[in-house]
Amino acid sequence: MEKEILEQGLNLNRRKFLSKLSLGVGSAALGSLLIPDLFKGGSPDEDAIMSALPHFAPKAKRVIYLFQNGAPSQLESFDYKPLLNKNMGQELPESIRGGQRLTGMTAGQTSFPLVGSYYKFNQYGESRAWISEIFPHTAGVVDDICIIKSMHTEAINHDPALTFFQTGAQVGNRPSMGSWLSYGLGSENSNLPAFCVLLSRGKGNGQGVYSKLWSNGFLDATHQGVQFSNSEDPVLYLKDPKSMSRDERRKMLDQISAMNDLNYREFNDPEISAKIQQYEMAYRMQTAVPEMTDVSKEPDSIIKMYGPDCLIPGTYAANCLLARKLSESGVRFVQLYHQGWDQHGNLPSEMALQAKDVDQASAALVKDLKQRGLLDETLVIWGGEFGRTNYCQGKILEDNYGRDHHPRAFSIWMAGGGVKSGMVYGETDEFGYNITENPVHVHDFQATVMNLMGIDHERMTYKHLGRRYRLTDVSGHVIKDIIA
Amino acid sequence: MISFNTFRSILENTLFVWIGLALILTIGGDNLFLPEWLQVIGRSHPLILHFPIVLLLFGLLFFWAPNLKAKKDLKEFGEISFLLGCNFAGITVLAGLILAQEDYEGSALEWHKWAGLAVFGLSILLYFIRNQSINFSKSLSAIIAVGVLQAGHWGADLTHGENFLLSPILKEEQETIALSEAEVFRDVVQPILQAKCISCHKEGKIKGELRMDLVEHIKKGGKSGPFVVPGDFEKSLLVTRINLPLEEKEHMPPKNKIQLTDEEKTILMDWVYSGASFDQKLEEVDTESELFQLASQKFSTEENYNFDAADPETILELNNFFREVAPIYPGSPALVVSYFGISAFDPNSLGELKAIGEQVVQLNLNKMPLNGVSFGFLSNFPNLRELQANFTDLTSDEISEITNLQSLTSLAISGNTLDDKSLESLGKMKSLEKLFIWQTGLSDAEKEKLEDKLPDTKIEYGFDGRGVIYDLNSPTIISEVNMFADSAKLEITHPIKTVEIRYSTEGEEPDSISSPIYKGPIWINKTAEVKARAFAKDWKGSPSSSVLLFRSGNPPKELKLLTQPNPNYFGKGELTLIDQIKGENNHTSGEWLGFQDEDPEVEITLADDQKPKELTISLLYHEGAYIFPPTQVEVWIKNTGNWEKIIDEIPTQSTDIKPSRFQALNYDLPTTEFKKVKIKMKAIKSLPKWHPGAGSKGWVFMDEISFLN
């Protein structure tokens, strides 16, 4: 037995020695070949990323992504199709549908009657963009936003579509957009995470959001999205226990860190160093977060701008206000999800409620960033995971109808951060079914966001399981037309 | 078989042949007519030249070998290498002189030629005086070695282009050009010519008599015709040649050279098409054109910074948890400094930035307590373009310091109160492109005055909320319990602390005049619907929020379910209705009985001494979940004889879908003696038309039946 233990120990050491030797020599040689700056100081990791990144000036420093989870109908928001009202109840021509697959929810339907918007549309701003009456505040900032009417995606159900938007793949396990940016650009403010997630839920039919959407995937765990609580305390357990002083907390963390460090030296597991960094950040967050989330100093006009709901924790308005505060404090990527946009039925009543939840606060966020001089460097994105069909799901009633999932064409908007303002990009046919002009695939959208942040989406890769991965997989083109 | 010495002397003699021929070619120069077969020898110059380089350098080494005289073999070996080298040098010189008759001209050629000749001459000299003085030989050998390398370098410049050898390490010197300054020819077209054409069309090597190194030569064109004719593809040889098939002899660049990319071709052709201007600015080109689209990508839209980068060590040192110092993008010399953490802010740390003062172009001090901080540090930043100091409690003196920043183009000082003096200072900042002064307390007249002074500045005033009247949000009513025995405590809160909350306890809408004002916790001692609304100046009163509280009363002796609830919503059976536990606001909580197929019917036996005056049935309404008010409620009582119906009514029916909520049906009971009570309700048989499930059966949900004395 003793012999075995000795052997095992020797083996371990031998293997360790050899693997470390090969790793050390190999990676140093390879690294110096590929990364000329490797030996110029700084941690190799950071240098590797930096040299992998193209050196061009970012237009946006930060992103706030207002994800409308459940897929808001483009036909009741930004894609005005009077033909659908005119031809209400008539069959969708097969030539338009072109054999598009259906979800299980309408696959059984024998008839696909066209249904027009329940809400009225009006034209606004210099771009004369059509916006529906349930988004009056968004209409008010139309000259600051760029509406893209020609988004399309590959997925037809919520979870894969949402995952695709966030991670570039329909299956889970890949890093989220925010994680990629955190990995590539790091945090501006080292007292807060680079990637924060805020959730809210509307009154409409909802779909789930799961933590895989803000997962770091194969990237280092420090790039994971940090979900803020939608209670009074956005970050729970920040306060030290009653009997514990700040100094004691510090001492405790130092001891834990020392022990973790010992372990790290032993095993070299990157998760351990990630853990050490997370403890340290949590310590700094103890002062940074209360300072940042303090609403009491917000002027009355801010409350009026976002709407009084912004004072109720967990609402979309409160999250928009918090997103502004986080972004202003240097958080690279703030991801909001607002649930309840899945209007398979009851669209007229539910969609108005949903719009009421988000319209004012979304517009307020744009205005608020603008009046602080931050809109130029902050990219705001508003949109869902796909669109909705131009035909009715179920029966059409005078004031009630529903729409199924539609991946072929939908609308989103972007503002600030180097995107052209007061612009409508792309066009759909008069049925609102197919894109006729300037299609924007999800990967194109991702490539564009990366580009605005100063990153070439084709060059920011991460090697995992023997291949290089990127957010845009193997496709994606930067939509230069919308970049200012 | 010739002896070694014969071989050596032959080689020594051939040297003079090379000298003679070289003299003829050098002196004769361009006047000589060379047969074609000699051109082949001339073109082998780039091949032969490797021999003398190696052999000469190798031979030269031996002059430095210590104590060479004693080692005869070694000395001889060195000498013969060197002698061979001299011979090859001669041949190379000859070939070179022949090659020079082709399309080579200019100073680079001259330098190379004379350096080559010098190496050749000096090498022969060294060979013959090798035994005279060791020191002299050593120095001469060093000179020759340098000469060989330098001549080779000039030669490489001729064939591969200027500075071919060093360009990879010199390229960092390249400047980025701002889009606003870029010119179509100088910055877009010329770089392509330089990369792909100029190595054969320049001073020193003028193929086809076309030079591209200077604009006047480009305008002049070459042997075959004009290089460019504005707007004319046919006549512009540039366009025709690059578009010939690759196999054609005339195709440019020649087949074996690096070809133009499609993008480069497009740029060159668009340039010719748009008039082949030599001084047009890129910004003057139509932004929709392909030329602009392709070309504009190459330039940064950022400003061009003409200062050197700061020391990376210094930048690293200045970074800490509360201050980020970073280049505006990797590789840029310009720095952005951001401060974070209000409580950690140390005004003295601003002075530390002096070390990178020249490089700082953006400074973010948002929310930092700057009141009373000495603003002298700003003079450290001659290149500051953007300053953000929103909500920093700036004084007018501090603002006047800001006006000294000459390069500032964007200033954000929202959330600071601006007095007359501050306004006057701001009025002087003519260079400002953007000014953000939201929430600074300016009157309309003051705004107008400022706009007059700064006509070219985009001023952002933001949203002031004046005249905008919104609904307040509803207050929150908090009660620990919603069913109580004697009394319950209620608290009402609102996120805006300054609002006035008014409430009512009888179910009526509170108003802003007569309803009681909430001042502290209130106590409720009967089943009641409490409503509350919030009011504030400049706001519309909130919609009301309400809560229903149930007084549990006394439990009866026994309760029997005459009909059975749906097995999925069975709760704790009969006990559910008299357990004095109010169900949660959710029909699946297990504290509710749900009836659909069978109409609910219960029989209650009162306790012996129970003389209730009131009956409360607590129900749940939630139209979205098909849970509706009962369509009929009957209450029967019995003492000893027959059942007697005392109540038969239709409760208020739903008219639309509302969120899940409690409802209490209260009924007065007669004063006569009775021992038993029976309650019959009818669930809705067919949901109304407005409901998505129109026509389906509805539900009745019930969680408690209580009697009050």
Per-residue pLDDT tens for B221-247? 888 888 888 888 888 888 888 888 888
Judged on CB neighbours under 10 Å (0-12, 13-18, 19+), B632 is middle
Report the first-to-last Cα separation within chain B, whole angstroms: 144
CA distance A81 to chain B (A): 26
CA distance B399 to chain A (A): 17
> Which pLDDT belongs to residue A2?
59
Instruction: Judge: B496–A303 Cβ closer than 8 Å, yes or no.
Output: yes
pLDDT, tens digit, 9 for 90 and up, residues B488-540: 889 998 888 788 999 998 888 999 889 999 999 999 888 888 999 999 888 88
CB-based contact, A47 to chain B, within 8 Å: no
Model confidence at B432, pLDDT cuts 50, 70, 90, reads: very high
Q: Which of A144-153, A340-349, B216-225, B684-693 has the lowest mean pLDDT?
A: B216-225
Angle between helices A270-293 and A316-328 (to 10 degrees): 110
Instruction: Judge: A372–B414 Cβ closer than 8 Å, yes or no.
Output: yes
Among A288, A303, A309, beta carbon nearest to B341: A288
CB contacts of B659 in chain A (<8 Å) are: 203
pLDDT, tens digit, 9 for 90 and up, residues B437-486: 999 989 999 999 999 999 999 999 998 888 888 888 889 898 888 788 88
Instruction: Judge: A373–B328 Cβ closer than 8 Å, yes or no.
Output: no
Whole-number percent of chain B with pLDDT over 70: 97
Q: Is A391 left (phi over 0), alpha (psi -120 to 50) or beta?
A: beta
Instruction: Judge: B470–A454 Cβ closer than 8 Å, yes or no.
Output: no
When pLDDT is averaged across residues B371-386 and rounded to a whole number, the result is 89
Model confidence at A35, pLDDT cuts 50, 70, 90, reads: very low
Picking from B345, B463, B464 by the largest number of A CB atoms within 10 A of its own CB, the best residue to mutate is B463
In sequence order, what are the residues at sequence separation of 6 or more whose Cβ sits closer than 8 angstroms to the Cβ of residue B545?
B474, B475, B476, B477, B531, B532, B533
CB contacts of A291 in chain B (<8 Å) are: 341-343
CA distance A367 to chain B (A): 7
CB contacts of B473 in chain A (<8 Å) are: 308-309, 311-312
CB contacts of A299 in chain B (<8 Å) are: 415, 439
CB-based contact, B342 to chain A, within 8 Å: yes
pLDDT, tens digit, 9 for 90 and up, residues B255-267: 777 888 888 888 8
Which residue of chain B is at minimal alpha-carbon distance from A401?
A: B692
C-alpha triplet A448, B301, A376: angle, nearest 5°: 65
> What DSSP string runs through A52-101?
HS-----S-SEEEEEEETT---GGGTT---HHHHHTTTSBPPHHHHTT--
Q: Which of B29-33, B57-61, B365-369, B397-401 has the lowest mean pLDDT?
A: B29-33
The amino acid present at A368, given as its one-letter code, is D
Angle between helices A177-185 and A442-452 (to 10 degrees): 30
CA distance B587 to B578: 17
CB-based contact, B300 to chain A, within 8 Å: yes
pLDDT at A392 over 90: yes
Which residue of chain A is at minimal alpha-carbon distance from B323?
A: A189
Instruction: Judge: A373–B496 Cβ closer than 8 Å, yes or no.
Output: no
CB-based contact, A312 to chain B, within 8 Å: yes
Nearest to A225 by CA among A161, A174, A176: A176
Which residues are bridge partners to A440 per DSSP?
Answer: A151
CB–CB of A450/A388 below 8 Å? no
> Which pLDDT belongs to residue B448?
93
Instruction: Judge: B332–A57 Cβ closer than 8 Å, yes or no.
Output: yes
Instruction: Supply the Cα-derived Rg of chain B in whole angstroms.
Output: 49
CB-based contact, A57 to chain B, within 8 Å: yes
CA distance A443 to A165: 8
CB contacts of A55 in chain B (<8 Å) are: 329-332
> Which pLDDT belongs to residue A1?
52
- Residues making up chain A, counted from first to last: 484
Instruction: Judge: A308–B390 Cβ closer than 8 Å, yes or no.
Output: no
CB contacts of A50 in chain B (<8 Å) are: 330
When pLDDT is averaged across residues A33-55 and rounded to a whole number, the result is 45
CB contacts of A189 in chain B (<8 Å) are: 324, 338, 340-341
Q: DSSP H helical segments within B29-69, as ranges?
A: 36-43, 45-48, 50-61
Tokens of B687: 């949901």
CB-based contact, A395 to chain B, within 8 Å: no
> Which pLDDT belongs to residue B553?
78
When pLDDT is averaged across residues A222-242 and rounded to a whole number, the result is 85
pLDDT at B182 over 90: no
pLDDT at B325 over 60: yes
CA distance B384 to chain A (A): 16
CA distance B647 to B652: 15
pLDDT at B175 over 50: yes
Instruction: Judge: B414–A57 Cβ closer than 8 Å, yes or no.
Output: no
Q: How many CB pairs under 8 A join A and B?
A: 123
pLDDT at B171 over 80: no
Instruction: Judge: A299–B414 Cβ closer than 8 Å, yes or no.
Output: no
CA distance B116 to B112: 6
CB–CB of B521/B537 below 8 Å? no
> Which pLDDT belongs to residue B69?
74
In sequence order, what are the residues at sequence separation of 6 or more whose Cβ sits closer than 8 angstroms to the Cβ of residue B173?
none
CB contacts of A371 in chain B (<8 Å) are: 414, 436, 438-439, 460-463
ipTM of the complex: 0.83
CB-based contact, A109 to chain B, within 8 Å: no
Instruction: Judge: B496–A371 Cβ closer than 8 Å, yes or no.
Output: no
Tokens of B441: 């307390």
